[in-house]
């Protein structure tokens, strides 16, 4: 591994910035959450913690603000989110610093977050008119009935965002919710509060009313139940275990939810690949954001005929990855998020090796580089009795398996309770698509790991099976934050017997009319 330690070149975040961010919180608990950098365990901030009363107050004020926000012209709402797009690019260096200090990730991975939010803002601002404008629909009886479909805001959307992409997950779901006329209350993960507060502050600067986008801070075990009770719709990104608990609460309260949950994503490497390109794509697909990415590859199936060529080239590339713990450009791999997460990732690797797996690269904690630094790991000879075979690792670890035929690869890739993302590396695109169409996952990337599908915002993204419900991106990514309302106008004649006809004769007349409508090609 190429190693650099760089924590001395930055003194930390500007105290005035932290003061500005934390001042927007209205907490009555008297408690605070301490934000500590995984780079060097530096204390970054004390953030006021919310209690249940604070959660209730936040939702109440958001509800009051929502009506006025929804009544603003759609063009005004979209222009505010386009202003956010421009402000993000103007403040790029500041937010990249904040993300790196809080997550320890490589700067290029932090940039990916910023660009994702920009593209989301632009996409939904420009598609909003098409999606939200009232639409005429064919009435039950031509000419006699007119119908219009309208889209109304849900009310107050609650967003629970994870730590792994703290900017993207805090903002990219809020953007379509706000454009649709909702207000938003965000509960970010306690490890990445400053990033969340930063983007909320920027949205306020762009023109979103203060009460229309708010933050509450605290442990989900303490606040989660009341958070779900107060919101009108829930967007959650996180583990399958927690998602199941929250979905049950939403079901009991008859409110909608959308959830992107865990994954054990598979990459299939076919025998006709361009070796260099495939290795580069596979390394990025497995180890972007240090593997702390719900759509990253944790299982790789390599066709047996190219195993002896692909695997050594892949392992050599992994061993050459540049690990750098610090602020600034240049790193390919940064730090894991916390001691607990490091222990969880390391324990899966150690258990697999103890049961007979072969460690081909990495797999070691590197406290000499940073408190939570970990060398990306590549394993082979992984069997079904190992935790790493079935359960999500959510770290820089991939297990390699051989396969013989395309049918074999599909069977192996689908042998999981998850269904979030998958990848097929194959020079023959027709063959790759035929494989992809059989994979049980919400997105399939051909000759890419995750970015092709994730970045295609016009198409929905989400999971099957234990990987979630609902979709972000695409039309669904905005329309899910709305209620559909139909207004139908009866212009003449009712549905009961007319012209003094009996029920029987009226029924015959209606049946004849319905048959004629089919003959002339009407829906």
Going by pLDDT thresholds of 50, 70 and 90, the confidence category of residue 5 is very low
pLDDT of residue 11: 62
- Sorted by sequence, the CB contacts under 8 Å of residue 297 that are 6+ apart come out as 265, 266, 267, 282, 285, 286, 398, 423, 449, 450
* Residue found under tokens 């992984």: 382
Looking at residue 500, what is its pLDDT? 85
CA–CA separation, 230 and 57 (whole Å): 10
Comparing CA positions, the residue from 459, 461, 453, 451 lying closest to residue 112 is: 451
Rounded Cα gap, residues 512 and 418, in angstroms: 50
- pLDDT by residue (tens digit) across 308-357? 999 999 999 999 999 999 999 999 999 999 999 999 999 999 999 999 99
Dihedral-angle region of residue 219 (phi above 0 means left; psi in -120 to 50 means alpha; beta otherwise): beta
Output the six-digit token pair for 47. Answer: 């953030």
Domain definitions of the chain by residue range: 16-261+476-482, 265-458
Q: Is 337 exposed, middle or buried (0-12, 13-18, 19+ CB in 10 A)?
A: buried
Residue 2 has pLDDT above 60, yes or no: no
Please check whether residue 6 is in contact with residue 328, taking contact to mean a CB–CB distance below 8 angstroms: yes
Produce one character per residue of 475-514: b if its CB has 16 or more CB atoms within 10 Å, e if not.
bbbbbbbbeeeeeeeeeeeeeeeeeeeeeeebeeeeeeee
pLDDT(1) > 90? no
What gap in Å lies between CA 240 and CA 257, rounded to an integer? Answer: 14
Neighbouring-strand partners of residue 297:
265
CATH of 16-261+476-482, one of 3.40.605.10, 3.40.50.2000, 3.30.930.10, 3.40.50.970: 3.40.605.10
Task: Find where tokens 């076919």 sit.
Answer: 270
Q: Decide if 84 contacts 203 (C-beta within 8 A).
A: yes
pLDDT (0 to 100) of residue 115 = 98
231: helix, strand or coil: coil
Residue 3 binned pLDDT confidence (cut-offs 50, 70, 90)? very low
> Is 260 among the catalytic positions?
yes
DSSP collapsed to 3 states, 491-510: CCCCCCCCCCCCHHHHHHHH
Element (DSSP H or E) covering residue 350: helix 339-354
At 487-518, the pLDDT tens digits run 999 887 777 888 888 999 988 988 888 888 88
Task: Give the mean pLDDT of the chain.
Answer: 95
| CATH T-level topology, domain 265-458 | Aldehyde Dehydrogenase; Chain A, domain 2 (3.40.309)
Average pLDDT over residues 470-498: 92
Predicted model pTM: 0.95
Q: pLDDT > 70: what percent of the chain?
A: 98
> What is the distance, to the nearest Å, from the Cα of residue 211 to the centroid of all Cα atoms in its chain?
24
Query: Strand 421-425 vs strand 377-380: parallel, antiparallel, or unpaired?
Result: unpaired
Q: One fold for both 16-261+476-482 and 265-458?
A: no
Helix, strand and coil in the chain, % to nearest 5 = 45, 20, 35
- In this prediction, residue 26 carries a pLDDT of 85
Q: CA 314, CA 281: separation in Å to the nearest integer?
A: 10
Shortest CA distance to 481 belongs to which of 61, 155, 162, 210? 155
Q: How confident is the model over 75-113, as pLDDT tens digits?
A: 999 999 999 999 999 999 999 999 999 999 999 999 999
Each residue's pLDDT tens digit, 422-461: 999 999 999 999 999 999 999 999 999 999 999 999 999 9
- With a pLDDT cut of 90, the percent of the chain lying above it is 88
Of 192, 214, 238, nearest to 34 by C-alpha is 192
Q: What pLDDT is stored for residue 402 in this prediction?
A: 98
pLDDT at 4: 33
Q: What is the pLDDT of residues 135-190, one digit of tens each?
A: 999 888 777 889 999 999 999 999 999 999 999 999 999 999 999 999 999 999 99
Q: Out of 260, 324, 332, 448, pick the active-site residue.
A: 260
Does residue 444 contact residue 453 with C-beta atoms inside 8 Å?
Answer: yes
Active-site choice (231, 250, 286, 294) = 294
> Cα 238 from chain centroid?
9
End-to-end CA separation in angstroms for the chain: 64
CB 14 within 8 A of CB 44: no
Q: What is the pLDDT of residue 448?
A: 98
What is the longest distance spanned by two Cα atoms in the chain? 93
Distance (Å, rounded) from C-alpha 292 to C-alpha 110?
A: 12
Residue 294 annotated to the active site: yes
């Amino acid at each position: 591994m190429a190693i650099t330690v760089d924590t001395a070149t930055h003194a930390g975040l500007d105290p005035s910035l932290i003061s500005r961010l934390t001042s927007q919180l209205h907490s009555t608990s008297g408690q605070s959450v301490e934000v500590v950098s995984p780079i060097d365990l530096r204390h970054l901030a004390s953030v006021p913690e919310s209690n249940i009363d604070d959660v209730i107050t936040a939702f109440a004020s958001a509800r009051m603000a929502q009506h006025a926000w929804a009544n603003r012209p759609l063009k005004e709402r979209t222009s505010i989110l386009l202003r956010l797009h421009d402000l993000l690019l103007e403040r790029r260096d500041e937010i990249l610093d904040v993300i790196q200090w809080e997550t320890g990730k490589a700067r290029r991975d932090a940039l990916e977050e910023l660009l994702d939010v920009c593209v989301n803002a632009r996409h939904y601002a420009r598609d909003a008119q098409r999606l939200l404008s009232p639409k005429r629909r064919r009435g039950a009886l031509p000419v006699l009935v007119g119908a219009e479909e309208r889209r109304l805001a849900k009310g107050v959307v609650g967003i629970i965002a994870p730590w792994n992409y703290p900017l993207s997950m805090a903002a990219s779901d809020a953007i379509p919710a706000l454009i649709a006329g909702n207000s938003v209350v965000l509960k970010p993960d306690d490890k990445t509060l400053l990033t969340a507060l930063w983007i909320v502050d920027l949205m306020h600067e762009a023109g979103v009313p203060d009460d229309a986008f708010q933050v509450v801070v605290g442990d989900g075990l303490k606040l989660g139940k009341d958070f779900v009770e107060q919101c009108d719709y829930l967007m959650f990104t996180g583990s399958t275990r927690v998602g199941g608990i929250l979905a049950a609460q939403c079901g009991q309260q008859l409110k909608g939810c959308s959830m992107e949950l865990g994954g054990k994503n598979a990459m299939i490497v076919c025998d006709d690949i361009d070796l260099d390109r495939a290795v580069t794509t596979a390394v990025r697909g497995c180890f972007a954001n240090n593997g702390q990415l719900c759509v990253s590859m944790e299982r790789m199936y390599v066709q047996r005929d190219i195993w002896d060529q692909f695997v050594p080239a892949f392992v050599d590339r992994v061993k050459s990855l540049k690990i750098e713990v610090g602020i600034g450009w240049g790193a390919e791999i940064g730090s894991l998020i916390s001691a607990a997460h490091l222990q969880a990732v390391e324990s899966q690797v150690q258990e697999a090796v103890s049961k007979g797996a072969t460690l081909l690269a990495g797999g070691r904690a590197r406290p000499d580089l940073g408190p939570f630094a970990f060398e990306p790991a590549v394993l082979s000879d992984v069997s079904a009795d190992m935790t790493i075979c079935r359960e999500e690792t959510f770290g820089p670890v991939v297990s390699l398996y051989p396969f013989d035929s395309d049918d074999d690869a599909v069977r192996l890739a689908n042998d999981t309770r998850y269904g979030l993302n998958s990848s097929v590396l194959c020079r023959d695109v027709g063959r790759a698509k035929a494989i992809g169409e059989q994979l049980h996952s919400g997105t399939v990337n051909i000759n890419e790991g995750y970015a092709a599908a994730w970045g295609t915002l016009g198409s929905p993204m989400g999971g099957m099976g234990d990987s979630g419900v609902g979709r972000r991106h695409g039309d669904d990514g905005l329309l899910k934050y709305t209620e559909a309302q139909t207004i139908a106008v009866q212009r003449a004649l009712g549905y009961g017997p007319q012209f003094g006809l009996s029920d029987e004769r009226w029924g015959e007349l209606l049946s004849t009319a319905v048959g004629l409508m089919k003959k002339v090609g009407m829906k």
